[in-house]
Amino acid sequence: MKSLVIHAPRDLRIEDGPDETPGSGEVQIAIAAGGICGSDLHYYQHGGFGTVRIKEPMILGHEVSGHITALGADVTGLRVGQLVAVSPSRPCGSCKYCQEGTHNHCLNMRFYGSAMPFPHIQGAFRQVLVADQRQCAPADGLTAGEAAMAEPLAVCLHGARQAGELLGKRVLVTGCGPIGLLCILAARRAGAAEVVATDLTDFTLKMAAENGADRVINAQKEPDALKSYEADKGTFDVLFECTGAAPALTGGIAAMRPRGVIVQLGLGGDMTLPVQAITAKELRLCGSFRFHEEFFTGVELMRKGLINVKPLITQTLDLADAVKAFELASDRTQAMKAQIAFA
């Protein structure tokens, strides 16, 4: 069994490892597709992000799907050969936050491909994965690539829940990477009346326009374009901030109307905020971190054709070309979601 292991910045290796046998309540999965996430890129490019650093070799990846190859004892509702999307979220179920129903804040979370704890939590970029049956969402009718998009879609569905009522609202999305585009799709599904999106590259903005944005703004070429939305104390009811960059958040706050909601999804490190403007406008600033039950909701939305993620998958490369896939995924002039084919 081959897996994709990061050792240090730009030291990504394909390594052999033993196959695992499923225990009670577990299934063995032949991984078919894996999407390269922003956190994977941070590990690849910089060896981590913020204070999180790789301290030992770690298998990357948490956006995966595959076909079940074996069932452990007591597994029900799944079958050999079935395509499943695999949730990387593995809360303990017993800590105080799990007991409160906020599983994404689990004190003992085991999230695939994370260097936050030590020893690190090994990831899912491997040819064979053993997972708990509770992690597996049946993905019949989807392609493996679509099923692997369930994780980033779940992130955005969780963000949409943080925003509250979206029906008839005017929405601003800053940052048009995969999370930004999936926020656009989620907002549209929830009934947003208008969606404006900003980014720095024409490629990502073109994709935003093709996937539901009413207007797209290149903030580098049109730095003052949002000013027209600042009149009468602002325009937008909701801001999905997907860059983690202070200028994007600051510009978005100026265009928000009083009592609007800011949902911060981008993770770019600490930043200085215009607190006076937030206070004077009575804005609500919400963090949004990971997801839990939204994973299964996202798979169902895709299966029913209510959200189409297929146009966001721009490249699929074989495992042997993993380094090339990571380089492509880093290039926002030509890649939205680059995936790796493991089978």
Q: Residues 6 or more apart from 170 whose CB is under 8 A from it?
A: 192, 193, 194, 196, 235, 236, 237, 238
CA pair distance 78, 155, nearest whole angstrom:
25
176 in any annotated domain:
yes
The secondary structure element, H or E, covering residue 337 is strand 337-341
CA pair distance 144, 4, nearest whole angstrom:
18
Q: Which residues pair with 31 in a beta bridge?
A: 66
The pTM assigned to this predicted structure is: 0.95
Residue among 312, 285, 174, 37 at smallest CA distance from 45: 37
Report the pLDDT value the prediction gives residue 267, as an integer from 0 to 100. 84
86 and 65 fall within a common domain: yes
How many domains in the chain?
Answer: 2
CA pair distance 170, 29, nearest whole angstrom:
42
**Burial profile 66-99: b = 16 or more Cβ within 10 angstroms, e = fewer:** bbbbbbbeebeeeeeebbbbbbbbbbeeebebbe
Report the pLDDT value the prediction gives residue 87, as an integer from 0 to 100. 98
99 and 170 fall within a common domain: no
Q: How many residues does the chain have?
A: 343
- Reported as a single tens digit per residue, the pLDDT across 202-229 is 999 999 999 999 999 999 999 999 999 9
270 and 196 fall within a common domain: yes
Q: Which residues pair with 340 in a beta bridge?
A: 34, 317
CATH code for position 166: 3.40.50.720
240 and 145 fall within a common domain: no
142 and 169 fall within a common domain: no
Task: Give yes or no for a contact between 89 and 22, defined as CB atoms under 8 angstroms apart.
Answer: no
- Domain enclosing residue 87, as ranges: 2-149+309-341
186 and 115 fall within a common domain: no
299 in any annotated domain:
no
2-8 β-sheet, strand order: 11-16, 2-8, 58-59
- Reported as a single tens digit per residue, the pLDDT across 24-54 is 999 999 999 999 999 999 999 999 988 899 9
CA pair distance 3, 59, nearest whole angstrom:
7
Residues of the chain with pLDDT below 70 are: none
CATH code for position 135: 3.90.180.10
304 in any annotated domain:
no
249 and 121 fall within a common domain: no
Classify burial at 126, counting beta carbons within 10 Å of its beta carbon; exposed 0-12, middle 13-18, buried 19 or more. buried
Residue among 2, 136, 146 at smallest CA distance from 68: 136
